[in-house]
Amino acid sequence: MVFMFQTKFTIFQLFWDALAMMLIGILMFRAGYLTLEVPTRKYVWMLILGYGIGIPLNYWEALTIYQADFSAMAQISGTFTYDIGRLSLALGHLALILLFCKAPFGAFIKSTLAATGRMALTNYLMQSIICGFIFYGFGFGLYGTLFGYEIFYVVAGIWALQLIWSPIWLKYYRFGPFEWLWRSLTYMQQQPMRR
């Protein structure tokens, strides 16, 4: 089963799914949506249509599966509308985020999130290291001991740490440590780090 999921399923299904989503992203970038070049009303329509299609569709799918006591047939019947609901909801979320980015308020939140995004590779690797230390035996060994809601405390703590330390780091340095390493390896020469 593992071999099937990591070969056939990944190559013949997930690859095309990821490619399709990347192409949609490229089209939206070229059309000016991701660079905030389109009028606000287009984002509002994207929000209304995205949530207007995605939320009811996902609700119907979840309700159908739940009422059928999570039977395999109910889950299969939900897959016919899954991609439409998923894409619609993603576009609704994206519109909401882009409307916030376009709004005249929230400069502090925007700059904090921008700094965290500029250090995305470092933050991703650091959260993996932190979680490894929290959950595996070489650290606290808490894997399987926390309730579902307690994991949200871990998530909130890591988010808070990253949202605080990213702007502070970028105040003194041009890149995050792993971004600097990646950039230096890409250009085959040590890049300037300090501001």
pLDDT one-digit tens code per residue, 19-29: 999 999 999 99
For the stretch 147-187, pLDDT in tens is 989 999 999 999 999 999 999 999 999 999 999 999 999 99
Q: Where are the domains of the chain?
A: 31-103, 109-187
| Count, residues in the chain | 195
Summarize the confidence of residues 109-137 as an average pLDDT. Answer: 95
Q: What does the pLDDT look like over 55-69, one tens digit per residue?
A: 999 999 999 889 988
- 7: DSSP letter: I
Please, how many CA atoms are within 13 Å of residue 178, restricted to the half-sphere of its CB? 12
173 DSSP β-pair partners: 194
Q: Residue 3: its pLDDT value, please? A: 80
Q: pTM of the predicted model, to two decimals?
A: 0.75
pLDDT tens-place string over residues 68-95: 888 888 878 777 888 899 999 999 999 9
Decide if pLDDT at 12 tops 80: no
Counting other chains too, the contacts that 44-51 makes at CB distance below 8 Å and 24 or more residues apart are 44/95, 44/99, 46/91, 46/92, 46/94, 46/95, 47/92, 47/95, 47/96, 47/99, 49/88, 49/91, 49/92, 50/88, 50/89, 50/90, 50/91, 50/92, 50/93, 50/94, 50/95, 51/88, 51/89, 51/92
